[in-house]
Amino acid sequence: MSGLSHLDGEGRARMVDVGDKPVTTRRAEARAALRCNPATLAAVRAGTTPKGSVIATAELAGVMAAKRTADLIPLFHPLALTKVVVDIAIDDAMPGFSIRAEVRTSGQTGVAMEALTAATLAALTLFDMLKAIDRTMVIEQVRMTAKSGGRSGDWTAA
């Protein structure tokens, strides 16, 4: 078991020591989708949803979530994030919302989980704010789409 980075020689969970890793610029991008009824999109466009500006609120929630990732995932390193952007767009073809989160830092470990947390929490916030008018919504396609920096190098999803 000692070959696994989050376990000690006796199989106990531990925080990984990243102290010897070089500081590099790290970036990660994640995406998610919230599928809903076309009528829900119409209500968002018209500004007639019961809880107000759902897109702006969900984007802010995603940013806040990225900043709190270390409080949510055990053994996680708290990071000084240098950039967090969450963009939500209405997608009539889905129909629903496309969510994109980008996170950056200069540090010794990456920001993939922060980006995934931001995209997921933005989707959950949309769901919460719209559930009174649409009970058929589905959160789907939560995934990493790109990362750069660090030992493993750059990666972009196909």
Helix spans in the chain (H): 38-46, 54-67, 69-72, 112-130
104 within 8 A of 26, measured Cβ to Cβ: yes
Residues tagged active-site:
128
Cα 144 from Cα 116, distance rounded (Å)? 7
Report which DSSP code applies to 52.
S
Angle at 122 between CA 49 and CA 100, to 5 degrees: 115
Phi, psi at residue 102, to the nearest 5°? -125, 135
In whole angstroms, give the CA distance from residue 54 to residue 136. 17
Radius of gyration of the CA atoms of the chain, in A = 18
